[in-house]
């Protein structure tokens, strides 16, 4: 029995953990080959080894154009093509009130969260355009939909991802390349767990689950597999008539009128400059 993306090839940035890892596993289970593009060498190599012949790891800093280009080229060299680009890598990044946000931390956050998506999209388009086929997917956030759901730099970058998605979808439609985004709500990953943990404390996924569940309109938290399912839909032919769209996967938080968490002021949760990947 063939999978929903049988025979297709994907590059997944931030693919060694969290949403990226969950998506790599889901894509392989549905018949795809994947390039795990991440800075986490040990975790990325271990995941690729576990997934076997269907996966390769490539050490990738998403702010480096050479690294992104090489990850895309590896997909073509190893598996013959590139059908799916999932621009997913991310960090929490710069935190604090706007009057106190460090400029270098702001620049680094924007570089990872927005420049990284630009580079992934650019080099995916480079190889997809001649074939007139492909699906480009980028991870935004509910912080890309509403203010107050994340720190300022994170929010600005995630809004930028949605704008870039719409703009590039308009350009690439003539080549039958679809460009979409996903805006996850709070999702239980090591990054969100690190955000909820006290400085120096061990990462506690169970505690993150409880915290996120307590604020969810549905009463339960989202997990990487929930976002992976959305990515799978956008990667497959089931979404063949969808482009320029942002799929919100947040238990209805942004639709329900729930009061946003003022994370950047630290009223509900303290952000930490951990640099962990989603």
- Residues identified as active-site: 141, 154, 158
- The tokens of 148 are what? 């107050």
Other Cβ atoms within 10 Å of 227 Cβ, number: 27
Angle at 217 between CA 247 and CA 162, to 5 degrees: 25
Q: What is the DSSP string of 90-150?
A: ------S-GGG--HHHHHHHHIIIIIHHHHHHHHHHHHHGGGT-EEEEEE--GGGTSTTSS
**What is the three-class DSSP state of 184?**
strand
Calculate the dihedral angle through the C-alpha atoms of 27, 252, 150, 204, rounding to the nearest 10 degrees.
-60
């Amino acid at each position: 029995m063939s999978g929903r993306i049988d025979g297709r090839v994907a590059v997944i940035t931030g693919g060694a953990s969290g949403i990226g890892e969950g998506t790599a596993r889901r894509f392989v289970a549905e018949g795809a080959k994947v390039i795990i593009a991440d800075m986490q060498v040990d975790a990325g190599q271990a995941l690729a080894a576990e997934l076997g012949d269907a996966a390769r790891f490539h050490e990738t800093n998403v702010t480096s154009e050479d690294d992104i280009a090489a990850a895309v080229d590896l997909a073509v060299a190893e598996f013959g093509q590139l059908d799916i680009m999932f621009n997913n890598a991310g960090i929490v990044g710069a935190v604090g009130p706007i009057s106190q946000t460090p400029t270098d931390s702001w620049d680094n956050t924007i570089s990872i969260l927005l420049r990284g998506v630009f580079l992934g999209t650019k080099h995916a388009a480079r190889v997809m355009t001649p074939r007139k086929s492909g699906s480009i997917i980028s991870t935004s956030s509910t912080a890309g939909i509403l203010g107050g759901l994340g720190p300022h730099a994170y929010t600005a970058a995630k809004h930028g991802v949605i704008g870039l998605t719409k703009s590039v979808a308009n350009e690439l439609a003539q080549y039958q390349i679809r460009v979409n985004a996903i805006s996850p709500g709070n999702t239980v990953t090591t990054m969100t767990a690190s955000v909820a943990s006290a400085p120096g404390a061990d990462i506690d996924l169970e505690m993150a689950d409880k915290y996120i569940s307590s604020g969810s309109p549905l009463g339960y938290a989202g997990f990487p597999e929930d976002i992976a399912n959305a990515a799978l839909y956008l990667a497959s032919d089931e979404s063949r008539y969808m482009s320029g769209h942002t799929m919100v996967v947040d238990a209805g938080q942004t639709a329900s009128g729930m009061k946003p968490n003022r994370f950047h002021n630290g009223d509900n949760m303290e952000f930490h400059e951990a640099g962990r990947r989603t």
